[in-house]
Amino acid sequence: MKKLRIIFSLLFVALLTTSCDLLQRLNSNSSQSQPSSISSTSSSSLQTSGDYLYPSIEEELTVHFLDLNVSGDCILIDYGNYEILIDAGGNKSAGTNIIVPYLNQYVEDQCIELMIATHGHEDHIAGFVGLSNQASVLKDFSFGTIVDLGEGYENLNSSNELTALQKQYNELRDQKIEEGSQYYTIRDLYKENKTVWEIAPQLTFSFLETKFYNIPYTKHTQNLNNYSIATQLKFEDKTFLFTGDLEEEGESSLLEMNQLSKVNIFKAGHHGSNTASQEALLEVIQPDIAIFTADSSKESTYNFPHPETIDRLVPYTSQFYTSYYNGHIQVKLLSSEKNIDIECSERKELFSYVAYLNCYPTIQAIASIGSKITIESETKIENAESLYNRLTEDEKTYVYNYPTLLEAREKFNQL
């Protein structure tokens, strides 16, 4: 410990290294473990001899949710000169043409202190790879620490072999490890009690536990979404929850194995799919703001976010943001201030939560089935009315199908 303290002080005072180099040197003092079973003991913080991972106290934290023009995750946590990147997905083109240029604006030293690939699906790792012989996240940036699921928990094709994209990701990741990046699987972190990262006095980043980190993955018996690495960020009294693509079974395990509580910002699971953001989780976290990294266009195959997901979220919040409607979404927190400032790069014709009301297929269905309306239908109507009533007068002018909602209410009242 004394040796680490001396190393930290000398490096900081002399300003001989970047923050990534500092992490690599500090990490090199501890041996790297092979994948192992997750310890059931409580996790200790990943501090260096009592010091925080980042030596300065910053007044502002910004969390960026990138618009990739397709459904996919790429989240940048920016605290001074300390950055965390959670996924770089979408597709290879998004990596080269959107993610790399965006990161260049905010990662001034070209070094990201912590990189996480939550799981191996294309919409979460393709941007790390990028287009052939062009810019990519793993080629253009250096990394202090890389965390992913590791061998045995990777994306497989129908023959139970690694997908071509997974192989490309692995090769580029391994090159970074050879260049000096520290590498952990999520199981390594639990074995070594390094799941809580005390970045600064008011900033903590935590890896959350699920049973799936220890269940071997095969293509035909398991759902890779449920293996997603889930994390939590706390800045003073504000909390973010990132669940990757966890679906119902993964969320249930998350609740069982962690002491979750209310969160302020929830990156809705699996891009707003009805297979995620289940009521059991929402009852515990009661989010103030929900953010969807999704392609909500009419041409989208999946049509995220699903109306059932919105139904479940409406009792807790009317603040919905979607990358398709809002572009790049920046959540900014200032030290000692209670307000959460959200800036969006574009509106794309409609406010995001207005768009959910406009696209509400349930309302269209209710208005057309007449006497077949059931008591369950009233809940749908009430949810839509609740959304509408929370809008400002200006925002209400964008809701072009409000007459349909009125018709649905009138038909129900006539039953």
Percent of the chain with pLDDT over 70: 77
In the prediction, which pLDDT does 190 show?
Answer: 95
Residue 75 or 50, more confident: 75
pLDDT grade for 398, boundaries at 50, 70 and 90: low
Q: How many CB atoms lie within 10 A of CB 402?
A: 16
Q: Are residues 364 and 258 in the same domain?
A: no
Q: How far is CA 48 from CA 23, 115, 211, 305, 375, in A?
A: 9, 19, 29, 41, 59
End residue of a domain, out of 301, 329, 353: 353
Please indicate, yes or no, if residue 42 is contained in any of the structural domains: no
Q: Are residues 118 and 91 in the same domain?
A: yes
Distance CA 235, CA 62 (A): 10
Strands 289-292 and 265-267: parallel
Q: Are residues 345 and 408 in the same domain?
A: no
Q: Given a cut of 90, is residue 29 above it in pLDDT? A: no
Residues 6+ apart with CB under 8 A from 249: 223, 226
> Tokens 């390094």, residue?
194
Side chain identity at 25, as an amino acid letter?
Answer: R
In the prediction, which pLDDT does 187 show?
Answer: 96
Residues 367, 406 contacting (CB under 8 angstroms): no
Q: What is the DSSP letter of 23?
A: H
Q: How far is CA 177 from CA 24, 138, 229, in A?
A: 10, 11, 20
- Give tens-digit pLDDT for 31-54: 343 332 223 333 344 544 357 999
Q: Are residues 205 and 109 in the same domain?
A: yes
> Can you say how many angstroms the Cα of residue 391 is from the centroid of all Cα atoms in its chain?
27
Q: How many Cα atoms are found within 13 Å in the side-chain-facing hemisphere of 327?
A: 10
Token pair of 331 as six digits: 């959540």
Q: Are residues 127 and 227 in the same domain?
A: yes
Token pair of 399 as six digits: 């809701």
Instruction: Indicate yes or no: pTM above 0.85.
Output: no
Please indicate, yes or no, if residue 44 is contained in any of the structural domains: no
> Which CATH number goes with the domain that contains 79?
3.60.15.10
Q: Are residues 378 and 298 in the same domain?
A: no
End residue of a domain, out of 313, 335, 353: 353
Q: Are residues 158 and 288 in the same domain?
A: yes
Q: How many residues does the chain have?
A: 415
Residue of 271, 203, 190 whose CA lies nearest to 232? 203
Q: Could you tell me where the DSSP H helices lie in 114-205?
A: 122-129, 137-140, 164-178, 186-191
Q: Rounded mean pLDDT of 269-294?
A: 94
Q: What is the DSSP letter of 227?
A: G
> Tokens 């597709």, residue?
91
Q: Given a cut of 60, is residue 413 above it in pLDDT? A: yes
Please indicate, yes or no, if residue 84 is contained in any of the structural domains: yes
Residues 6+ apart with CB under 8 A from 286: 262, 263, 316
Q: Are residues 323 and 376 in the same domain?
A: no
Please indicate, yes or no, if residue 17 is contained in any of the structural domains: no
- Domain count along the chain: 2
Q: Are residues 335 and 297 in the same domain?
A: yes
Please indicate, yes or no, if residue 12 is contained in any of the structural domains: no
Please indicate, yes or no, if residue 70 is contained in any of the structural domains: yes
Distance CA 345, CA 329 (A): 7
> Tokens 């090199």, residue?
28
Identify the helix (H) or strand (E) that includes residue 3. Answer: helix 2-14
Using DSSP, state whether 358 is helix, strand or coil: helix
Cα Rg of the chain (Å, integer): 22
Q: Are residues 66 and 161 in the same domain?
A: yes
Boundaries of domain holding 396: 360-415
Beta bridge partners of 142: 111
Distance CA 255, CA 279 (A): 12
Q: Are residues 185 and 313 in the same domain?
A: yes
In the prediction, which pLDDT does 324 show?
Answer: 80
Please indicate, yes or no, if residue 45 is contained in any of the structural domains: no
End residue of a domain, out of 338, 353, 368: 353
- Give tens-digit pLDDT for 211-264: 999 998 888 778 999 999 999 999 999 999 999 999 999 999 999 999 999 999
Q: Are residues 176 and 242 in the same domain?
A: yes
- Give tens-digit pLDDT for 347-393: 543 344 444 554 444 444 444 444 444 545 677 777 778 777 877 78
Please indicate, yes or no, if residue 19 is contained in any of the structural domains: no
User: 56-70, 144-158, 237-251, 384-398: which has the minimum mean pLDDT?
Assistant: 384-398
Residue of 125, 60, 62, 73 whose CA lies nearest to 322? 73
Distance CA 293, CA 230 (A): 16
Q: Given a cut of 70, is residue 299 above it in pLDDT? A: no
